[in-house]
Amino acid sequence: MLIWQRAVVGVCSLVALAGCAGPLSTLAPGGPSAGAIANLWWVMLAGAVAIFGLTTGLLGMAFLVRNGGPASVRLWIIGLGIAFPTTVLIVLLLYGLVIGERLQPVAAADVVEIEAIARQWHWRFRPVLADGRGQETIGVLHIPAGRPVDVIVRSEDVIHSFWVPALAGKMDAIPGKTNRLRLVAAQPGRYGGVCAEFCGIGHSGNRFLVIAHDPASWAGVLAAAS
């Protein structure tokens, strides 16, 4: 088989079998935050395909109609150039703003706080308990499933970025600054995490694991950490 045939077969089977899955996929959400963003993506993709079809369709037709007569500034510039994108953008911006607001780490009774401290090249995690800080884990972040978790992101050297694609967007770890990111894992399970901001030689391997626990096993984790 030629290499390109193999490639085509490969892509087809990949899309068919794996689809959007993968340890770091943003399109296989494991919680409501990542889910809302994945929905936003699919809506935007559909809209983008439609707009792309419209514009390239108009472009292609321009070659077919040939000399459609004097062009109307009103149609092309005011209608298609201004009114059309303005309408689409207003709707999209509102949609994006509402989702973004819903993902904010607002105060709630059952929020669990965990510190994530980045350095070249590993992540350390430490639950914030009622009586101080719990024990550190390196490279593994334990969280409860079904409860909002606020990750308090810090860095000890250069800029890193905390990212668990299945659970939420990313948040930079910046020296001298403390950031907060809300995660929610719908189900107990294991999720891949990775440093998203280039942080030097060890950037590629700067990954970590998130384990979401059911209430019983979370109680065990807390007991061990305190």
Please give the torsion angle defined by the CA atoms of residues 135, 140, 145 and 151, in that order, rounded to the nearest 10 degrees: 70
Q: Which is nearer to other proteins, 124 or 182 (CB)?
A: 182
CA distance 53 to 135: 55
Distance CA(164)–CA(189), nearest Å, equals 13
Among 11, 128, 138, 224, binds other proteins (CB under 8 A): 11
Contact with other proteins (CB under 8 A) among 20, 46, 128, 219: 20
Any idea which residue has 């899955």 for tokens?
21
List for the chain the helix, strand, coil content (%; round to 5). Answer: 40, 25, 35
199 binding other proteins? (CB under 8 A): yes
Q: CB of 107: closest distance to other proteins in angstroms?
A: 15
* 40 to 79: interface string for other proteins, x by CB under 8 A: xx--x---x--xx--xx-xx-xxx-xxxxxxxxx-xxx--
Q: Read off the amino acid at residue 17.
A: L
Out of 135, 187, 204, 226, the only residue in the binding site for other proteins (CB under 8 A) is: 204
- In eight-state DSSP terms, residue 78 is I
The distance of closest approach from Cβ of residue 216 to other proteins in the complex, given in angstroms and rounded to an integer, is 29
Restricted to residues 117-176, the positions that interact with other proteins (CB under 8 A) are: 120, 153, 157-159, 161, 163, 165, 168-172, 174-176
Binding to other proteins by residue 87, rule CB under 8 A? no
209 sits near other proteins (criterion: CB under 8 A) = no
Contact window for other proteins (CB under 8 A) among 110-118, 127-135, 193-201, 214-222: 193-201
Alpha-carbon dihedral 71, 72, 73, 79, rounded to 10 degrees: -120
State in Å, rounded, how far the first CA of the chain is from the last one: 59
10 sits near other proteins (criterion: CB under 8 A): yes
| Given 81, 139, 215, 220, the residue binding other proteins (CB under 8 A) | 81
Q: Which is nearer to other proteins, 61 or 224 (CB)?
A: 61
Closest to 34 (Cα-Cα) out of 146, 172, 166: 166
